Structure 1
């Protein structure tokens, strides 16, 4: 490891070092010989080196310039490895899909300070992704997979569950990293739904309505959605205006959004 600079706190870098955890994460992606994989933030290569011999091709998206240089050098001796030195939030996954002519599998230890924006960015490409295995702060994975009615259920739960089947796979203790983070981490698998069970007519309207509904969690839908939907419109899709957003199912949010889109 002495060829690497110290982890950069500004980039939220915590590098995996536990071999058992590393093996479990890679196994969770289920790579096959004809697969194309994309790793977000390869860091020092704990997952990367394990995946290289398993997939047809492996693409890395890395923002740290020193690590980009390291992986570009490594790619000279690994024909199946491609390196993209770019911010994942600005990266167009379609470039890989078009070049490879197939869907991709995504894996990554997401920086905790931008984990939600990364998840929303990846969701734009759900039709082009076969599956995603991501490491996040444990409480974020709990929110992603939460059911209606609890404190963990919120905007992230609704937005992601409308498009993915989400599995909480396992917890990763701080000691599995260098340096150890102050929080527990967890691994989630997100599989894009082949058939969206609760389709929306406008994804932008859906996103806006869900965000508005959860903007003041203690208030009822009658109040949070004022200006978007009247109480009568809310009732017209079978939802009671006096309930709070956290009690609604993804299906009910989709119905409300479609009502808003219809005007």
Structure 2
């Protein structure tokens, strides 16, 4: 286990703090990320710097984002082997676009993400996908399973569909609770997400996709002729070459995107100002 000289700090449950302390896992993470001195790495939630101080051996410059003032103060006093720029911010409101233009370089985002914000953060990063090269996150294993699930799988749902519209997602490895302090009650997984250059659905239609999937999966065992009847009639489903007898978990990501495209066009035809509204949402 890795010793970090800050034994007086008590992890905060409100921030979902479970600090990684297993050097074998840390080295496995570094090998998976493959950092290089030419890369601009951005770490979210460095905590007690267990990963931070070792990854500094591979880069010249590192950006970290930490919401906890006490930890931020600790990091500012820590002696790293590379230049470290520390932002004391809530990452859910952090402007990654601004950072990209400041550094004039694509960002490689990584971190041990608090489970209570992991899904929000993944969605938040979608709007910055043009400025991000890749995302390497440790998340709750259940979340990783949902992110990567395919149609027909019990884990397949709204998160799978929305994430797979905008990211190519790759599994790295699972991590035992024993690798953390304090020990979480669940296993974790390390994953890589690479923003798609040509996403399956433009970002300005993501709200429509969220709306449709919320209806579809509210009663996921119902046939979509019933679960989506308030949005699409059977003739429309046939027109889009989608079987109305399928259940929500049987439709592919591409089919949900097709439904979203159609509904978006329908709303625009009803109200030509709709494009302006949705683009600013």
Aligning the two structures, in what range does the TM-score lie when normalised by the shorter sequence? Answer: over 0.9
Q: Map of 1:34-53 to 2, 5 A cutoff?
A: 34-53=38-57
Deviation at 1:38, TM superposition (A): 0.8
CA contact (8 A) 2:138 2:190 kept: yes
1:253 alignment partner in structure 2: 256
- CA shift, 1:2, in A, is 4.6
Aligned pair in 2 of structure 1 residues 146, 26: CA closer, same or farther (>3 Å)? same
The 3-state SS of whatever aligns with 1:59 is strand
2 CA distance for matches of 1:229 and 1:38?
43
For residues 85 and 219 of structure 1, the distance between their equivalents in structure 2, rounded to whole angstroms, comes to 46
C-alpha separation in 1, matches of 2:76 and 2:236 = 56
SS in 2 for 1:162: helix
Measured against aligned partners, the alpha-carbon deviations of 1:155-189 in whole angstroms (never above 9, x if no partner) come to: 11111111111111100001111111111111111
**Counterpart of 2:58?**
54
2:23 alignment counterpart:
19
Q: How many Å apart are 1:242 and its aligned residue?
A: 2.3
Structure 1: stretches of 5+ with no match in the other structure: none
* Aligned partner of 1:204 among 200, 203, 207: 207
Indicate the SS of the match to 2:50: coil
Q: Encode CA deviations 1:125-159: one digit per residue, 9 max, x unaligned.
A: 11111111100111110111111101100111111
Task: State whether residues 29 and 132 of structure 1, in contact with CA within 8 Å, keep that contact through their aligned partners in structure 2.
Answer: no
The structural deviation recorded for 1:23 is 0.7
Unaligned runs of 5+ in 2: 267-281
Pairs within 5 Å for 1:99-138: 99-138=102-141
SS in 2 for 1:95: helix
CA distance in 1, matches of 2:11, 2:215: 37
CA contact (8 A) 2:22 2:180 kept: yes
- Range that drifts further, 45-54 or 103-112: 45-54
Question: How far off is 1:249 after superposition?
Answer: 0.8
| Cα RMSD (Å) | 1.7
Matched, 1:140 2:143: yes
Report the CA distance between 1:79 and its aligned residue.
6.3
- Secondary structure in structure 1 of the residue aligned to 2:218: coil
Deviations 1:211-246 (A, max 9, x none): 322222122222222332222222211111221111
Note the C-alpha offset of 1:50.
1.6
User: TM-score if structure 2 supplies the norm length?
Assistant: 0.88
Report the TM-score, using the length of structure 1 for normalisation: 0.93
Distance across 1 between alignment mates of 2:197 and 2:5: 45
Counterpart pick for 1:98 among 80, 96, 101: 101
Q: CA deviation at 1:33?
A: 1.2
Equivalent position of 2:271 in the other structure: none
Aligned counterparts of 1:2 and 1:28: Cα–Cα separation in 2: 26
Q: Which moved further from structure 2: 14-23 or 119-128? A: 119-128
Counterpart selection for 1:153 from 156, 175, 187: 156
Q: Give 1:47 shift.
A: 1.1
